[in-house]
Amino acid sequence: MTNDPAQALPVLHSLSSAVAIRAIYPSNHPRVEEAVDRLVETLQTCLRERGADEVTFLIIDSELLVDQRPTRAHMTNLAALVRTLSANGIERVSLAAGADAEECQRLVGGLTGTGELDSSPHVLLGRIQIEDGDGDSAQEALPRLGSTGLSEDDLDRAEDSFLRFRSDSKGSIEQLDRVLWRFVEGMDKSSRSLLLLSPMKGADQRLFVHSINVSLLTLAQARGLGIEGQALHDIGLAALLHDIGKLSLPMETLHAGQRYTDREWELVKQHPELGAAQLCGLPGAPPLTVVVAYEHHLRWDGLPSFPTPAMPRLPSVASQLTAVADTYDVMIAGRGLAGGVGGKAALEVWEERAGTYLDPFLVGNFLMTLSDVERVGVA
């Protein structure tokens, strides 16, 4: 018999993965069933290795403990799970021998807001406090989560710096860098600090608003995964500049919105390479901005997309976080760019793209990030 907390971590990772996948797919989807079966199997293996009848996890001050010992959740992908448990007032989770797929499916559904969240014979939850409400479907409106901490003058200067990339990228990066620190500082002060912007009329302005929104959404995801400090800032700045290559395209192409001709689409597909080339070697631009500008349209599964790398490569986590936010702002919001399709249609697109174009864990985590703040249920 051993009480090594490390043996229990696979159970937490399996639970976190199942919750993220359930946030995307309905309960009877094969991917959800596979994730739940994996959770049951992992739990059985853990209990057998520990020679125990149950394993208990505690949440104390946002720290995750096993056997009274911290698991350093901020260094793993468990930060999102801890946040979800804490948001539901759960301080203790005990999983006992005999827990089956039905019980685990119920737990996973409850944590995603798609079912009742309470104890069962082999799943014991402590101090559950669930807010009442009848919101059980995806909301099509953008969440308004507090404030960015930026004044209108700040945004005006940021927009000017963003659009000056056409002629003075060196001067622009410093102003945009300051804007990102304001975003990060605002999020440090409030977990609800996220205010997405409404569209403006001009094509340049739409691109700027879209870039701001993608940056905010990417910061929210990264912070939810436990990323902090300079790394959080660099990811946010990279997301803000992900589409900067579009400023090198002809103005009439930008004005075309998403209704491109074949010729215009071939031009648009060049923007990742154009943006990466523009940022490469630019003083003050973190190397991650080059990576994200180049990679944000690469597929998670490695199949062909655009651009076409000289050597096969998979997109970085920062690029995938940006891609998830980019998809959200275009599909659901339709604010930064024309053509938002609404919540239900967007979820259908996500179901198709999760596991192909996009990392399914990050998509599920993103949906949980939204529901965590706004209590948005996903049917």
Rounded Cα gap, residues 185 and 233, in angstroms: 10
Select from 240, 267, 264 the least CA-distant residue to 165: 240
The C-alpha angle 252, 254, 259, rounded to 5 degrees, equals 90
Strand partners, 56: 94
Q: What is the pLDDT of residues 298-348, one digit of tens each?
A: 999 999 999 999 888 999 999 999 999 998 888 765 543 444 555 666 677
**Which residues on neighbouring strands pair with residue 94, listed in sequence order?**
56, 124
- Give pLDDT, residue 180: 78
pLDDT at 377 over 60: no
Question: What domains are there in the chain, each with its CATH number?
Answer: 5-126 (no CATH), 144-374 (1.10.3210.10)
Identify the pLDDT of residue 336.
Answer: 39
The token pair at 3 is: 């009480």
Higher pLDDT, 104 or 334: 104
* Cβ-based neighbours of 348, under 8 Å, separated by 6 or more: none
pLDDT at 123 over 70: yes
Supply the mean pLDDT for the chain: 79
Most confident of 31-35, 133-137, 152-156, 163-167: 31-35
More confident residue, 74 or 286: 286
Contact by Cβ (8 Å): 178, 126: no
- More confident site: 126 or 290: 290
User: What is the pTM (predicted TM-score) of this model?
Assistant: 0.72
Give per-residue pLDDT as tens, 72-100.
Answer: 654 556 777 888 888 788 888 999 999 99
User: What does each C-alpha distance from 131 to 87, 127, 135, 141 come to in angstroms?
Assistant: 10, 13, 11, 21
d(CA 48, CA 55): 11
- pLDDT tens column, 214-252: 998 899 888 888 888 889 889 999 999 999 999 888 877
Beta strands in the chain (DSSP E): 54-60, 63-66, 69-70, 92-96, 123-126, 144-145, 194-195
pLDDT for 131 equals 42
